[in-house]
Amino acid sequence: MSSQLIKNNFRMDRLPHIWCPGCGHGIIMRSMAQAIQNLGLDKQKVCIVSGIGCSSRAPGYMDFNTLHTTHGRALAFATGVKLANPELKVIVVTGDGDCSAIGGNHLIHTARRNIDITTIVFNNNIYGMTGGQYSPTTPTNDFGTTAPFGNIDKAFDICKLVDGAGATYVARGTAYHVNQLTKIIEKAISNIGFSLVDAISICPTYYGRKNKKGTAVQMMNYLKDSAVDTKVAEKLPPEKLENKFFIGEFKNTTEPEYTEEYMKIIKKYQKER
Amino acid sequence: MKNRKVKLMQGNEACVEGALAAGMKFYAGYPITPSTEIAEICSQKLPLVGGKFIQMEDEIAGMAATIGGSLAGLKSMTATSGPGFSLKQENIGYAALAEVPCVIVDVQRAGPSTGLPTAPSQGDIMQAKWGTHGDHPVIALSPTSVKETFDLTVKCFNLSEKYRTPVMLMLDEIVGHMREKIEIPEADEIEIYDRKKPTQDEVDTYKAYRVNEGEIVPAMASFGEGFHFHVTGLMHDEFGFPSNDADTADKLLRRIMNKISDNVDDIVMFEEEFMEDAEMVVLAYGGTYRSARSAVKKARAMGLKVGLFKAITIWPFREKRVIEIAKDQKKILVPELNLGQYVLEVERIVAGKTEVHSLGKVNGEAITPDEILAKIREVL
């Protein structure tokens, strides 16, 4: 039996999804739907935009205005949609490779403009759709099909990247900490400005297998054991933070939003004409 | 008595005036010479009419945002030049497959690569047709004067709205930067075509990619109007959802190709002069047409029987008429600012029925009337 949440927010005839057994993406997608429902958003005014990759199939399953674009370009398409119709709540679904490699330029500039777009990164540390190549968030020394001797790249911290670029809401959650993730997504959507949620997912099929991380359950347990809430982390000694990563809210500020600023220009100069 | 505004303006400026007259309300782009004036003037004029301008972080984003603006319901345009045109190609293919109306202006400059910034060229004519991967429908127009730039920009919007496809305006640096007198038509003199939209009664039955009886393309809803539709660059069914089904893919691609090829008579524009007794025809387009016309008039003054064919619509090609010319045994000369691109298409169509000659130039200078005249005398 499908829950009311699924019935209300998904295209039932498009399910089941294409993701592998054990993939974390379905949990994050559900969390998004829960957040949208909790906020009571008008479905007609929600537009979900994605790029290319495993993550980017999500909008096809969701019963909103949905746009599946080209690799890396979701934020640029979304910028066009949002500026053309600022009434729309625009949410971008992207992956670690999609948003921080091929789409890296769009990511930093969309953040810089502080345009009211919420970006949910389904971050599984690997290119899944193409079969397990290392991505900009694959940890150094980990393996991928294009890093057979270990990855010598350094990984991006996507939260720090967009914080530096000008995003006004930045947070990280995981596919394990679902309730927290839903709350974070709610806050990200509510922020009037550029918001990013780095949603840590798991890819047992490629990243897990290449790096001997065990089953999906073991990978979920890793998320549970290794994630430390940023508020808790402040009170812990450094030795307790070794090999941990931080989740929770990193930034929540208010700055002028792009489409509002543009509408001010229209209001001022259209009137004077 | 019409009270038309008479102005001295650049081709690039006329392009913006035409776009505004056609109802453009959204522009996204990236600066590149010799197209930059188009962005500058859009940034100035769009807010005055309640429209939106955005300077994106790169050419790719400019094309992407233009498509996004159109999906949100606004008539959208972007402009670029050679290197930027290369960068936009992937998303032009997206607009073609997802059937998103939009206008792309390419003010051609000499390439390849950064080439000769910013000398004139017509080197992107084949790229307009084949630049993006896969088979895809293409409409491209090329103006020869400032006035024609205005008119053809309006036409580009109308064709894009009517056929739900990206349409390219292939300007070149000669016409883009040339200043001429232009009489701007009044609003009631300009024919405007707006995309057909589904009615609100169809909210529950709407299929985003179903072509209704008697229509050329599917009715197009905008995001935010209550139609929960999906748009993708994957092959898709009538609902817009991805499909790997062979028949679905075949049907879709043939449909979007046929919507252009079945309507060539509506899309293709050309003009002819001095054709009746011509033994030879100069077939020209864009800035080069101006030199060609001058050369043909000089040739006529010398008693040479030369006709002139102006290709206004570059793609699709006016095959029927060119075959007739070839059957009449008129020789064809194609002068162009490249090493022979459009001439390849002429040769393909003519298929040996008559002689086809090429006059190419790639040193960054325009082809002069005397150069064309010399070639005419050589061929005749």
Q: Which two tokens stand for residue B7?
A: 């102005």
Residue with the two structure tokens 């625009």:
A90
User: Residue B208: pLDDT above 70?
Assistant: yes
B51, B150: one domain: yes
β-pairing, A245-252 with A227-229?
A: parallel
B20, B146: one domain: yes
Q: How many domains does chain B have?
A: 2
B170, B279: one domain: no
Asked if B224's CB is within 8 angstroms of A47's CB, the reply is yes
Q: Is A266 on the interface with B (CB under 8 A)?
A: yes
Query: What is the domain-level CATH number for residue B359?
Result: 3.40.50.920
Domain range summary for chain A, segments of one domain joined by +: 4-271
Asked if B69's CB is within 8 angstroms of A65's CB, the reply is no
Name the strands in the sheet holding B270-273, side by side, starting at the edge strand that comes first in the sequence.
B270-273, B306-311, B280-284, B331-336, B356-360
Residue B15 confidence class, pLDDT cut points 50, 70, 90: very high
Phi, psi dihedral angles at B226 (to 5 degrees) = 100, 0
* Residue B239 within a domain: no
* Residue B232 within a domain: no
* pLDDT of the residue at A271: 66
Return d(Cα A156, Cα A137) in angstroms, integer: 5
Q: Which two tokens stand for residue A1?
A: 């039996």
Q: To which CATH superfamily is domain A4-271 assigned?
A: Thiamin diphosphate (ThDP)-binding fold, Pyr/PP domains (3.40.50.970)
Which residue in the set A63, A108, A273 is minimally distant from B228, CB to CB?
A63
Helix axes B59-71, B82-98, angle to 10 degrees: 30
Q: Which two tokens stand for residue B49?
A: 């009419």
B151, B278: one domain: no
At B307-349, the pLDDT tens digits run 999 999 999 999 999 999 999 999 999 999 999 999 999 999 9
Return d(Cα A154, Cα A169) in angstroms, integer: 24
Q: Which two tokens stand for residue B349?
A: 């169509």
- What is the full DSSP assignment across B115-165? -EEEEE--TTHHHHHHSSSS----EEE--SSHHHHHHHHHHHHHHHHHHTS
Domain of residue B126, residue span: 5-189
Asked if A66's CB is within 8 angstroms of B64's CB, the reply is no
* pLDDT of the residue at B197: 97
Query: Which residue in A has a C-alpha nearest to residue B226's C-alpha?
Result: A44
- What is the full DSSP assignment across B33-49? TTTHHHHHHHHHHTGGG
B156, B16: one domain: yes
β-pairing, A133-134 with A126-127?
A: antiparallel
B81, B171: one domain: yes
User: Residue B224: pLDDT above 70?
Assistant: yes
* pLDDT of the residue at B1: 58
Q: Of the residues B189, B209, B240, which one is the last residue of a structural domain? A: B189
Q: Amino acid identity, residue B361? A: K
Return d(Cα B87, Cα B74) in angstroms, integer: 23
Three-state DSSP state, B154: helix
Classify residue A148 as exposed, middle or buried by CB count within 10 Å of its CB (0-12, 13-18, 19+).
exposed
* pLDDT of the residue at B35: 97
Phi, psi dihedral angles at A94 (to 5 degrees) = -145, 170
Q: Supply the DSSP symbol for A45.
A: G
Residue B194 confidence class, pLDDT cut points 50, 70, 90: very high
Query: Which residue in A has a C-alpha nearest to residue B49's C-alpha?
Result: A270
Which residues are bridge partners to B271 per DSSP? B310
Task: Indicate the helix (H) or strand (E) that contains B76.
Answer: strand B75-80
Query: Which residue in A has a C-alpha nearest to residue B77's C-alpha?
Result: A80
Return d(Cα A99, Cα A76) in angstroms, integer: 11
B304, B162: one domain: no
Residue B176 confidence class, pLDDT cut points 50, 70, 90: very high
* Residue B295 within a domain: yes
CB contact set of B296 (below 8 Å; sequence gap of 6+): B273, B274, B282, B306, B307, B308, B372, B376
At B49-88, the pLDDT tens digits run 999 999 999 999 999 999 999 999 999 999 999 999 999 9
Q: Supply the DSSP symbol for A100.
A: I
B170, B287: one domain: no
Q: Which two tokens stand for residue B374?
A: 């010399």
Return d(Cα B72, Cα B49) in angstroms, integer: 17
Asked if A60's CB is within 8 angstroms of B48's CB, the reply is no
B18, B158: one domain: yes
Q: Is B74 on the interface with A (CB under 8 A)?
A: yes
Task: Indicate the helix (H) or strand (E) that contains B116.
Answer: strand B116-120
* Residue B83 within a domain: yes
Q: Is A267 on the interface with B (CB under 8 A)?
A: no
* Residue B57 within a domain: yes
Asked if B242's CB is within 8 angstroms of A109's CB, the reply is no
Q: Supply the DSSP symbol for A14.
A: G
Query: Which residue in A has a C-alpha nearest to residue B62's C-alpha?
Result: A76
Q: Of the residues B189, B216, B240, which one is the last residue of a structural domain? A: B189
Q: Which two tokens stand for residue B355?
A: 């002689």
Asked if A83's CB is within 8 angstroms of B64's CB, the reply is no
Asked if A73's CB is within 8 angstroms of B60's CB, the reply is yes
Residue A178's closest CA among A247, A100, A91? Answer: A247
Phi, psi dihedral angles at B231 (to 5 degrees) = -120, 135
B35, B158: one domain: yes
Nearest CA distance, A200 vs chain B (angstrom): 25
Asked if B90's CB is within 8 angstroms of A81's CB, the reply is no
* Length of chain B, in residues: 380
Mean pLDDT by 10 residues, chain A (273 residues): 89 95 98 98 97 97 98 98 98 98 98 98 97 98 98 98 98 98 98 98 98 98 97 94 96 98 97 57
User: Residue B19: pLDDT above 80?
Assistant: yes
Which residues are bridge partners to A169 per DSSP? A195, A252
Backbone φ/ψ region at B142: left (φ over 0), alpha (ψ -120 to 50), beta = beta
Q: Of the residues B153, B171, B189, which one is the last residue of a structural domain? A: B189
* Length of chain A, in residues: 273
Asked if B228's CB is within 8 angstroms of A76's CB, the reply is no
Q: Which two tokens stand for residue B337?
A: 């600012």
B185, B48: one domain: yes
CB–CB of B90/B81 below 8 Å?
no
B283, B170: one domain: no
pTM: predicted TM-score of the whole model, two decimal places: 0.98
Which residue in the set A80, A266, A270 is minimally distant from B68, CB to CB?
A80
Chain A residues with beta carbon closer than 8 angstroms to that of B44: none
Phi, psi dihedral angles at B52 (to 5 degrees) = -120, 140
Return d(Cα B226, Cα A87) in angstroms, integer: 13
Nearest CA distance, A109 vs chain B (angstrom): 7
